[in-house]
């Protein structure tokens, strides 16, 4: 009798929902229950649930579109500025004191604008081969510039005219069923997005392209069109959210969408999508957005307490409200983001729960999942045509062949143009050094980030680390009354601890640097606000502020007077921070260009596997690069406090994106293996 082997094929896991979403729902229920215990009057009502869904709607709609992009193994940093730009353009088109168009015409033009932005992103990434991070970062800056230009930094409102168009503006109001119409729109978009991604050809092509683009192309999938399509969906979702905001608020402000892209990306990653592509669900992304909004609401709530105040010999019991400090929300959001990403490789893939259950029952552990890496790991080597030209060129041609030549030449041309137009200003020594003074903060951050990007990583936390170091120094100076040396030491310690966490999570736990530093972005920014209770601190010994003063101010502080002449003229215009920045730039530039460690950085970023085969400790190189970025950001934060003689919790805001753009403009490659300090400084 012939024996036939039979296998029992299990049901394929659903791509609409899964175990991750179940875990998110459980976490949401626990968090909501915590809110109900803290403030039962609010969270115990249906109004709280309605408010939660309403506030989640716009974030979740954008998250639906971004899910397609991230599953596609791309990134869209432009959704925040698209959201803001669409709302502003609608206001300019519709408001009676501007173009005064009809609501339908204005809305259609705004949706066309969203389509155009998505198409531009897609063409830049697929046809022109610009990395998605750089392409969408560029569009972010352009969009933000248009927002400021169109609003002139002022809010635009149109409540009177809005009353004449109840059909459109009712989108931001409550319907007869008691729900805000934005919730209905969100549910419709979420259902359509979930079905398309999970059950249609479009979704299959998206997963295939994100999982292994080359294999998908061999299978006949038009991968370029798939990626363009994802950017179109993402931008249209952001445009729709922008129109919903315009309908609800009946006006716009220049701050619409600021930092919204990072919040949405965090929601999608918390929702279970992989930044490496090939994995993600719309349901998870929507639950991630819901979790982010709920976390904000619960942590901002206060719970009633009683306190005893002693006045003379009499004790008085008073009712008070205890709440977490300002900054708690981003701290917990950053921690949640990092933990969510760590769960997949360290708990799910290793089947910790299943192995523990098998051990308790005395049975053999289940087989571990096959663990793979990135489907296609981009390898960049220095055998490019530009490098061949540089090796064969001589004289000035050798300089022109460098990747940083354009930034250096453009910087020189801009200075010469200014000199030709305003020689009285640009030949003035004081004005020239004033420009360097304002440039110091960004320059210091850019120096450290050059190493990180050249090593093939990214650091989104440098602006927040600047704020953390500055707030720590200011707290020790103002609140604890510490001396300047102690304040500087504590600021350095705080900033370097943030860098150490970045390095350990990225190198030790093998998390993508984008995710690790995005988590630190929220944690450090939250801690910075937490330390100073969200307030501006000022008023400490002038000895600390000398770090941000001119050289002559320091000499006068110590009662040293220079005689009239060139030396005194220079001392009166050159600041300590400019000297420090130039010194750091000189050392960092020489090390990166001529020292063995710099060559190891280039080798690691150019081809990490080949560098490891050559005996380079690539983990050590990446570790030190991330630590250097934190050190430079920390120095910038300490100087920032001294220069302004105060600390503001918004210090360093958006500096991470400015610095990344500076490195790329200066000839660096987002893939690693390239970058010079002088080029990055020229880009800054």
Residue with tokens 């432009």: 78
pLDDT value of position 372: 41
Query: What are the tokens at 371?
Result: 């663990």
Q: How many helices (H) and strands (E) does the chain have?
A: 33, 6
pLDDT value of position 14: 53
**Angle at which helices 513-531 and 328-343 cross, to 10°:** 160
Q: Would you say 576 and 547 are in contact if contact means Cβ atoms under 8 Å apart?
A: yes
Task: Round to whole Å and give the CA distance between 489 and 502.
Answer: 20
Residue with tokens 């954008």: 62
Cα-based distances in Å from 681 to 44, 315, 629, 662: 55, 62, 15, 7
Is 385-683 in CATH node 1.10.3470? yes
Query: What are the tokens at 316?
Result: 């008085």
Query: What are the tokens at 265?
Result: 């990306």
Q: Give me the half-sphere count of Cα atoms (radius 13 Å) on the Cβ side of residue 206.
A: 31
Q: Would you say 600 and 592 are in contact if contact means Cβ atoms under 8 Å apart?
A: no
Task: Round to whole Å and give the CA distance between 573 and 565.
Answer: 13
Q: Which pTM value belongs to this model?
A: 0.86
pLDDT value of position 369: 55
For the chain, where do the domains classified as CATH 1.10.3470 start and end?
A: 385-683
pLDDT tens digits, 123-162: 999 999 888 988 998 999 999 999 999 998 899 999 999 8
**Most distant CA atoms of the chain, gap in Å:** 111
Query: What are the tokens at 437?
Result: 């003074």
DSSP 8-state secondary structure symbol assigned to residue 550: B
**Which value, in Å, is the radius of gyration of the alpha carbons in the chain?**
27
Which is nearest to 448 in space by CA: 407, 383, 416, 496?
496
Task: Round to whole Å and give the CA distance between 239 and 654.
Answer: 22
Task: Round to whole Å and give the CA distance between 599 and 626.
Answer: 16
Q: How many other CB atoms are there within 10 angstroms of residue 416's CB atom?
A: 11
Q: Would you say 593 and 602 are in contact if contact means Cβ atoms under 8 Å apart?
A: no
pLDDT under 70 in the chain at which residues?
1-14, 41-42, 44, 301-306, 310, 312, 318-322, 348-349, 367-399, 401, 429, 433-434, 437
Written as one string, the DSSP assignment of 424-443 is: HHHT-HHHHHHHHHHHHHHH
Q: Give me the half-sphere count of Cα atoms (radius 13 Å) on the Cβ side of residue 33.
A: 6
- The helix/strand/coil state of 335 is helix
Task: Round to whole Å and give the CA distance between 100 and 427.
Answer: 48
């Amino acid at each position: 009798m012939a024996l036939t082997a039979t296998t029992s094929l299990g049901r394929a896991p659903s791509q609409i929902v899964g175990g991750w979403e179940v875990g998110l729902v459980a976490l949401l229920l626990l968090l909501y229950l915590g809110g109900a215990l803290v403030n039962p009057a609010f969270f115990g009502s249906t109004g709280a649930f309605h408010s939660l869904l309403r506030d989640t709607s716009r974030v979740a709609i954008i998250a639906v579109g971004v899910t397609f992009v991230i599953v596609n193994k791309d990134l869209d940093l432009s959704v925040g500025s698209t959201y803001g730009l669409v709302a502003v353009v609608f206001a300019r088109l519709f408001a009676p004191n501007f173009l005064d168009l009809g609501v339908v015409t204005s809305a259609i033009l705004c949706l066309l604008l969203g389509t155009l932005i998505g198409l531009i992103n897609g063409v830049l990434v697929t046809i022109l081969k610009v990395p998605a991070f750089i392409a969408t970062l560029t569009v972010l800056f352009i969009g933000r510039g248009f927002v400021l230009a169109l609003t002139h930094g002022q809010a635009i409102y149109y409540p009177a005219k809005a009353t004449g168009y109840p059909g459109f503006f009712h989108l931001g109001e409550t319907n007869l069923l008691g729900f805000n119409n934005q919730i209905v729109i969100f549910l419709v978009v979420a259902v359509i997005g979930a079905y398309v991604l999970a059950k249609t050809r479009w979704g299959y092509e998206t997963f295939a392209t994100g999982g292994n683009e080359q294999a998908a192309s061999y299978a006949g999938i038009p991968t370029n069109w798939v990626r363009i399509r994802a950017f179109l969906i993402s931008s249209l979702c952001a445009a729709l959210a922008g129109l919903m905001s315009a309908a609800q608020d009946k006006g716009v402000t220049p701050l619409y969408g600021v930092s919204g892209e990072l919040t949405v990306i965090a929601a999608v990653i918390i929702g279970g999508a992989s930044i490496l592509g090939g994995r993600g669900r719309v349901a998870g992304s929507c639950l991630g957005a819901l979790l982010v909004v709920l976390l904000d609401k619960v942590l901002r709530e206060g719970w009633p307490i009683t306190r005893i105040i002693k006045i003379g010999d009499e004790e008085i019991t008073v009712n008070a409200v205890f709440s977490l400090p300002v900054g708690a929300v981003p701290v917990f959001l950053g921690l949640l983001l990092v933990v969510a990403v760590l769960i997949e490789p360290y708990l799910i893939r290793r089947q910790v729960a299943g192995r523990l259950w098998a051990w308790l029952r005395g049975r053999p552990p289940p087989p571990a999942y096959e663990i793979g890496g990135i489907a296609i790991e981009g390898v960049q080597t220095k055998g490019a045509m530009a490098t061949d030209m540089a090796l064969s060129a001589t004289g000035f041609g050798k300089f022109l062949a460098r990747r940083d030549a354009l930034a250096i030449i453009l910087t020189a041309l801009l200075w010469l143009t200014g000199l030709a137009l305003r020689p009285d200003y640009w030949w003035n020594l004081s004005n020239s050094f004033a420009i360097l003074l304002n440039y110091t903060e960004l320059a210091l951050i850019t120096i450290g980030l050059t190493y990180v990007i050249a090593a093939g990583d990214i650091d989104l936390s440098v602006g927040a680390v600047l704020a953390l170091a500055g707030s720590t120094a200011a707290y020790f100076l103002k609140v604890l009354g510490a001396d300047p040396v102690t304040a500087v030491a504590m600021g350095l310690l705080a900033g370097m601890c943030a860098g150490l966490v970045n390095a350990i999570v990225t190198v030790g736990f093998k998390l993508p640097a984008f995710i690790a530093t995005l988590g630190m972005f929220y944690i450090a920014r939250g801690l910075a606000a937490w330390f100073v209770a969200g307030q501006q601190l000022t008023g400490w010994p002038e000895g600390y502020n000398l770090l941000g003063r001119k050289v002559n101010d320091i000499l006068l502080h110590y009662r040293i007077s220079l005689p009239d002449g060139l030396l005194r003229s220079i001392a009166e215009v050159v600041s300590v921070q400019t000297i420090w920045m130039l010194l750091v730039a000189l050392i960092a530039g020489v090390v990166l260009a001529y020292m063995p460690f710099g060559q190891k950085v280039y080798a690691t970023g150019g081809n990490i596997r080949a560098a490891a085969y050559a005996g380079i400790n690539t983990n050590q190189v990446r570790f030190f690069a991330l630590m250097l970025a934190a050190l430079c950001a920390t120095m910038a934060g300490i100087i920032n406090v001294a220069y302004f003689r105060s600390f503001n919790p918004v210090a360093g805001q958006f500096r991470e994106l400015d610095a990344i753009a500076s490195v790329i403009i200066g000839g660096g490659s987002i893939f690693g293996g390239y970058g010079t300090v002088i080029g990055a400084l020229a880009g800054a």
